A and B are shown apart, each in its own frame.
Chain A
């Protein structure tokens, strides 16, 4: 009886937490618009920017995924093939963008492309499209091509780690004799033959998986679109901007119709892409013998000059936006003389909060409180939901376990803005008093992070040898003692990773927070950065203050990962 309660309560709580706000929101939008979600997809073009937003969302996501592969594949190939000195550091630098909050990434790229930024100073003007970019723009006849290039490059920067992490291990762990054998066959004589008939079949699943995930992240990207392509609309950016007017009966019904249609379309695309990837992985799964990375790399030796230059450039590419963002917080531009000076004034302003509703310390406190709340809620719920699924699997109730598993993944098919709007329309407009609840953003943050916690903990639970539990029983430990003294310590590495990811995600979360918190006393650091950047730039310190705030956010996120890394592994030790 007790175990059934322990198993059922978290599942019911979690499913209510993710499903109820969304169901209420859809119900409310259907009531206001009189349309069902599918009908409303075909009414998106009734909104003045709807049709353009749909086109631009698909095109930019597709181009971003292609560009990411073009940049990422050679790097993954070189890293996987050759013996590199300090490969751990290179990998960490190349992974850094992926754990960077999106608003920090946006600020980093703005620091590079703004007036006086690195790219601007070498004649690449992506903002006002003069010089080379102006010529390019008029040649290809695409409006705002500078902005679009900046957005695509930023998406490629953000998702580069995905390509490397998906593809590089596969290249590094394939036994070299496979390729050797192929070279000796008539079908593998030329490098092109080997590429088409050996490497592509071996690498297509990780490459297509990287493509899909990059497409999805670019499809729902918000902060980068908002700041790097301000004249363009994606579905996510448009939903976030107009969403506040939705769900009110008799008022701007076209907005409610657009929100319902756009959210449905996004959900269909996300579910279809995730489903296709999963099916592709299952159908094309190859059981291949693998070797240790070190062995495979030893066979190919040290890299030549081209791989060295390529990897060096990629590392610079990964670090440059962040370095220039930090520098932009202390390099102040004098608007009248167009000269620069070095000063910490912006940091003083940021910490005093004179230009915003909250100061950096206040926003940081809010962010940390929300991140801690999100950590507690998502890790507790995620742990017990994973535990319930695992218990059902052990009892051979596999269908029920699978159903809960699939339902628990539902938020993965939702973007930050969709979840924020779900909470806004589904809960707040029914229960407006919640607007006065300080902890409100914890709910959408936890909705978005709990599936990741489940995905990290569930496989780890499945891998625990049942003899540990049996030994605990034989040693006389009761169920609670076994849970605290055996299960939790055994799962510690995964719990630490899930906690760090959960906190980092919450710290950097922008879409849902922006929808719910904009211009309030509880602004988080990403919202504060956005708020500062939205101000008129008459005062020369506005941009440096935003850059300083973004730098604080970046440092906090990285510090979190460094701390998590320290606690991640089992260290042994007595009691």
Chain B
């Protein structure tokens, strides 16, 4: 079980950004993919999430093929490079976006995640007042509450300073491991990759053809 990607190809016009990519991930494994900017890491994550169409290949999650499934039905969470917080909601309002309907909300769980992320007392703070680290914690809290089958981390810490980046990377790893959520973390920082991943894979090993330009 976990994630299996077989012979994945993604192209923009005639240009292949991901070609013949194969990857396996165990059910609670965290894999860090290391590669330079523009090599195609983000495209890979967007394809797994269903935000980008693939040209060919198979993606299987927990034994089910998901490559034909729309993004919103895949049950995959994703953190983008910049924290995506909705400006018309405060911190709590953004976290509650994890639930599609009001009657699905479990406020005990919400409080517990807020506490775990160290965001207590800031529930009604406007998102503009949050620091970069706090903003990514809010996004992580929201993603955790969706109970994702897989979490995709697209360089979510790249905008933070080095010390904070590594501190949050440790916290993230602990959170994901405690909950047994498998994750793919892409980064160009080798130390961050080592901290967060059970396994670190270089992009060139995933794609023997070499780096591609996005």
The residues of A with any CB-CB pair to B shorter than 8 Å are: 465, 467-468, 470-478, 481, 485-486, 489-490, 492, 570-575
Contacts and interface: CB of A to CB of B under 8 A. Distances in A.
B86 A475 contact: no
Among A475, A486, A570, max chain B CB count under 10 A is at A475
A489 B73 CA distance: 23
A492 B86 CA distance: 12
B90 interface: yes
B88 A489 contact: yes
B146 A572 contact: no
Nearest to A574: B93
Interface of B: 46, 49-51, 70-73, 75-78, 80, 82, 84, 86-90, 92-93, 96-98, 100, 102, 123-124, 126-127, 142, 146
A492 B88 contact: yes
B184 to A, nearest CB: 14
A477 B72 contact: yes
Contacts of A570: 87-88
Given A473-B51, A473-B71, A475-B97, A574 B92 contact: yes
Contact of A573 (B76, B80, B89, B146): B89
Nearest to B46: A470
A471 B84 contact: yes
Contacts of B49: 470, 473-474
A574 B146 CA distance: 18
A319 B131 CA distance: 46
Contacts of A481: 100
Among A470, A485, A486, max chain B CB count under 10 A is at A470
Nearest to A471: B84
Contact of B102 (A476, A489, A575): A575
A274 B9 CA distance: 49
A426 B86 CA distance: 47
B72 A473 contact: yes
Contacts, number: 79
Given A490-B86, A572-B89, A478 B72 contact: yes
Given A476-B146, A572-B93, A574-B96, A470 B51 contact: yes
6 contacts: A468-B84, A470-B46, A571-B88, A572-B124, A572-B127, A575-B93
A573 B93 contact: yes
A471 B46 CA distance: 11
Given A474-B49, A474-B51, A476-B100, A574 B80 contact: no
Given A471-B78, A575-B89, A575-B102, 4 more contacts: A467-B82, A470-B80, A475-B146, A486-B86
The 10 closest A-B pairs by CB, nearest first: A473-B71, A471-B84, A572-B90, A489-B88, A574-B93, A570-B88, A474-B78, A572-B126, A467-B84, A476-B72
B100 A575 contact: no
Contacts of B142: 475
A395 to B, nearest CB: 13
Contacts of B78: 470-471, 474
A283 B84 CA distance: 37
Contacts of B84: 465, 467-468, 470-471
A570 B50 CA distance: 30
A572 B88 contact: yes
Contacts of B70: 473
Contacts of A574: 89-90, 92-93, 96, 123-124
Contacts of B46: 470
Contacts of B98: 475
Contacts of B89: 489, 572-575
A514 B96 CA distance: 51
